[in-house]
Amino acid sequence: LAFEQDAALVSFNKQTGAAKLYGDELVALERRYAMSGVTMADSAEAFGALTRSVHGLRTMSQSARNDLVDTTAILQELGVSADTTGANVHFMTRSLGMSVKESSKYQRELFALAQQIGMPPAEMAEGFKSAQPKLAAFGKDAGRVFKKLATAARASGMEVQQMLGIVEQFDTFEGAATSVGKLNALLGGPFLNSMEMVMQTDPTERMRMLSGALNKAGKSFDQLTYYEKKSIAAAAGLSDVNELALVMAGNF
């Protein structure tokens, strides 16, 4: 153990230069979670990732820092990269204005949600990281929006980024009017309202409205002709006909 501690501290100091700041806490982390499989190398990796990713780590209270490193180390043991956890916490504290404890708690909630809906936890955490540029617009509500998106995406066989890409066209009146006008013309009725699509900012709700409009036209995906499928997919701003099938069959 002494050799492991020495090797881990040397490696940590080479990477971060912060052994004097966090050396004692790094050793304490290993002691707290040794029974959970957290080695000195794991502790160094978790602390190293947070030192690189989370600005302001030094100025946190020790209680908040302990909560963060404990979460990071345990999630790392369960397959979620420490770098990903660090990047997600940095986004939530800096861009969304959330506290360190709230951000740490949310990382654990994402892990629990991933288990609940049958998604690999690492994929869930990476999905949140990838969606950050678009989630930032939702402020402190971003966490709730992402959970809803992730659940709907899993149920419908889609990806979170895929869903966000589809509904982004409804962020402007011009984009919404163009897409809705084309769709209503192809579907043969006023099944969508451009004003409602713009005013509804929840991405999952927008997907539900789009899916509902496509199904209200009275034809299932199988009943659509070859050119109807391609035309409707293009009008809805979808990348291909396969996306149309997923949207029409989706559980949003």
Q: What pLDDT digit, counting tens, does each position of 163-173 carry?
A: 999 999 999 99
98's torsion region: left (phi>0), alpha (psi -120 to 50) or beta?
beta
The predicted structure's pLDDT at residue 98? 95
Rounded average pLDDT over 227-238: 95
Average model confidence (pLDDT) for the chain? 91
CA proximity to 57, closest of 14, 96, 104, 105? 104
Q: Which residues are CB-contacts of 41 (< 8 A; sequence separation ≥ 6)? A: 4, 7, 8, 11
Quickly count: other Cβ atoms within 10 Å of residue 226's Cβ. Answer: 8
Whether pTM > 0.75 for this model: the answer is yes
Chain centre distance of CA 232: 29
Given pLDDT bands bounded at 50, 70 and 90, which one contains residue 117?
very high
Q: Is residue 36 pLDDT above 70, yes or no? A: yes
Give per-residue pLDDT as tens, 130-141.
999 999 999 999
Residue whose entry in the numeric block shows the structure tokens 């609940």: 116
pLDDT, tens digit (0-9, with 9 covering 90-100), for 57-79: 888 998 999 999 999 999 999 99
Tokens of 221: 């995906």
Q: Please give the angle made by the CA atoms of 169, 170 and 173, to the nearest 5 degrees.
A: 110
Q: What is the pLDDT of residue 204?
A: 97
- CA-to-CA dists, residue 85 to 23, 92, 138, 164, angstroms: 21, 11, 20, 22
| Amino acid sitting at position 146 | F
For 173, the 3-state DSSP assignment is helix
> Which pLDDT does position 162 carry in this prediction?
94
Q: Which spans in 78-141 are helix H?
A: 82-90, 100-117, 121-130, 132-135
Per-residue pLDDT at 5 = 75
Per DSSP, the residues of 28-78 read HHHHHHGGGT--HHHHHHHHHHHHHH-TTTTTS-HHHHHHHHHHHHHHHHT
Which residue in the block uniquely carries the two structure tokens 């809805």? 236
Its sign, for the CA torsion 167, 172, 176, 179, is: negative
